[in-house]
Amino acid sequence: MRILIVEDDKDLNRQLNDALTQAGYVVDRTYDGEEGHFLGDTEPYDAVVLDLGLPKLDGLSVLEKWRRAGRVMPVLILTARDRWSDKVAGIDAGADDYVAKPFHMEEVLARVRALVRRAAGHASNEIECGELRLDLRAGRVTVAGMQVKLTSHEYRLLAYLMHHRGKVISRTELVEHLYDQDFDRDSNTVEVFVGRLRKKLGGDYIETVRGLGYRIGEPT
């Protein structure tokens, strides 16, 4: 799951980056509205954390431009406390949720987690496929109740497939959602991670759909 952070406060930007990375997301980040708008317009993000007060182009304008162009990724806006009018304007402009500054990082994490899973059509923080279970809050994977230890890359890959359970996901889509923009994107690495995941999970959870990609769970 790939997240974009648009926040001009350098400390806050870094704290958000650290917390989201720690939570298993791939993060791209930027400090101004113009570049933020460009990235959100051209890269496939699973969610965006967008500050409203930004240099070059303010957050509300960024959001309005995305929505007018039909970009539907979930957007969490960061607003100043007590500025209720910002919240209303943000939601009217197409924000999915907001957090008022100063905030607890846990709250941002919980809201991002909820946005990402709801966008993929999941009502709860646990996604299951047979005996395979992904607990999004704990970042934990179990098979038949036994915890499976995964590396961060393996976890991201599995989490993406589980969020889109039943759908065939192409290698290209996986690469786009598992790595940040600076990563050397070699789709062969996806095959390597799928191979490792299959060994660790046992069973036939990850199906290869010849010529198309990978799928977990029954076809939808």
Residues that bind Ca ion (CB under 5 A): 8, 51, 53
Q: Which is nearer to Ca ion, 65 or 200 (CB)?
A: 65
Q: Which is nearer to Ca ion, 52 or 150 (CB)?
A: 52
Q: Give the shortest CB-119-to-Ca ion separation in angstroms.
A: 25
Provide the CA 143 distance to its chain's centre, in angstroms. 23
Listed in sequence order, the residues at least 6 apart from 102 whose beta carbon sits closer than 8 Å to its beta carbon are: 81
Output the CA–CA distances (angstroms, integers) from residue 213 to 44, 79, 93, 176, 216, in the order listed. 18, 40, 36, 13, 11
Q: Which is nearer to Ca ion, 52 or 73 (CB)?
A: 52
Q: Give the shortest CB-46-to-Ca ion separation in angstroms.
A: 23
Q: Do residues 105 and 86 make contact, with C-beta atoms less than 8 angstroms apart?
A: no
As beta bridge partners, residue 133 has: 128, 142
Which residue's CB atom is positioned nearest to Ca ion? 53
Q: Give the shortest CB-40-to-Ca ion separation in angstroms.
A: 17
Q: Do residues 43 and 159 make contact, with C-beta atoms less than 8 angstroms apart?
A: no
Length of the chain equals 220
Q: Give the shortest CB-146-to-Ca ion separation in angstroms.
A: 45
Alpha helix segments (H runs only) across the chain: 10-22, 33-42, 59-68, 84-92, 105-119, 152-163, 171-178, 188-201
Q: Which is nearer to Ca ion, 51 or 97 (CB)?
A: 51
Q: Which is nearer to Ca ion, 53 or 139 (CB)?
A: 53
Q: Which is nearer to Ca ion, 23 or 78 (CB)?
A: 78
DSSP 48: E
Q: Give the shortest CB-9-to-Ca ion separation in angstroms.
A: 6
Q: Give the shortest CB-65-to-Ca ion separation in angstroms.
A: 18
